[in-house]
Amino acid sequence: MKAIRKAAFCAAAIMLAASLSACSGRDDKAGSSGKSTGMDAAAITPSSSPDHSIGGQEPTESPSPSASAPKPAETPSPSASTPKESGSPSPSASAPKPAASGKPSASPSTNTATAAPALGEKSLTAYFGFADETGTKLMIVPDIQGEIDPDALSSIKTAAGAGGKTLPVAYAGVQQGDAKDNGRQTASNFVHMKGYVFQVEQGTAQPNATYYMLRGEQAPEAFFPVEDRKAAKPDASLLKAIAQEKKRKVDQAWTIGRIDVNGKPMDLLLIQFAREQKSMLASLVLVPEKSKPLYKDFPADYDENSTWTVDDGGTMNPDSFSLRFAARTVEGMILGMEWNAAEGSNSFLLQADSGKLADLGIGGGRYMSP
């Protein structure tokens, strides 16, 4: 499948969760119960001068949630971009259910070096929303498996995104939509869509931006400040060390964002490695100071038109990725990511884990093609 458009939207939603899992480079399959070893945010000591030897101190280990992606729903839903048959990820307009309970394991982190506020085990949900044109309302699109329990909606009190900032929100009810709905999940179509509407109670959301919805009122201190850093070039010695570790030449590399952890910066990179026959590889790379970089790998088969997403021209684009937020949890740091493509965007959560950025199996997409 390459340039299939509307006819493939339903199939793409069904393939989303499995494709995200396949691209993580792990052996576990969608819906498996394999466990991972978490790394508490306090164990990651960032710095603007990272250890480029790649052989620094190993991160502190503690129990963490299953990183396996959930089995996708088998009911149809539109997709924001057509997935590749190789199993590479692409944006989708349906949010898959999180694995098991949809939240990290209840097992607390063994690292107690910090008493800073953290997201609790019951804070995470399966839902992403987006803002209207005024930034005063957010909407969750109805889940493809049916209506969302009003009690679950009423428990959502916080929206996270746009520079790591949080907004207090309150569930305002169901908007039924009208005949002018054009099927696009965008701010301009907000008033015409059917969906679950939330009122922003303080501050203003970034118009048309995606937000992750959390249960309960979350302390802003649980979220690290993040900023766009696409103008910054990655350190050459760091890239050399990464190439040696991955045993693959770096073709292109970009800085995506920076996380300010207790006043010390930690960069998130996007790296595209050199093509080996038809084998392509790109990675999101989180760079701590005293431990090895953590990777989220995206392997794919080369296609000159659509390698990772439809119409990507066979190359990664740093402007397609954004770091929405980073937060401390009882299991470790989580990152809220958004990946834009030709027909929409996909949002997903990653957890800083020992040796990798583990996919939590919580994601959602928006179809926005003109």
The domain spans of the chain are: 6-119+222-367, 124-217
Quote the pLDDT of residue 332.
Answer: 86
pLDDT, tens digit, for every residue of 261-279? Answer: 888 889 999 999 999 999 9
- For the chain, the average pLDDT equals 76
Pick from 325, 307, 196: which is nearest to 251 by CA?
307
Quote the pLDDT of residue 244.
Answer: 96
* Band of residue 1 on the pLDDT scale cut at 50, 70, 90: very low
* Band of residue 145 on the pLDDT scale cut at 50, 70, 90: low
pLDDT, tens digit, for every residue of 13-49? Answer: 333 333 333 343 333 332 333 333 233 333 333 333 3
> CB within 8 A of 140, min separation 6: which ones?
127, 128, 129, 148, 153, 195, 196, 198, 213
How many Å is the maximal CA-CA distance in the chain?
59
Quote the pLDDT of residue 296.
Answer: 96
Q: What is the mean pLDDT of residues 277-293?
A: 92
Q: Phi and psi at residue 292, in whole multiples of 5°?
A: -65, 155
Quote the pLDDT of residue 162.
Answer: 86
pTM: 0.72
Quote the pLDDT of residue 144.
Answer: 67
Residue 150 vs residue 157, higher pLDDT = 157
Quote the pLDDT of residue 205.
Answer: 97
* Band of residue 356 on the pLDDT scale cut at 50, 70, 90: confident
pLDDT at 242 over 50: yes
Pick from 324, 305, 180: which is nearest to 257 by CA?
324
Least confident interval from 79-88, 216-225, 349-358 = 79-88
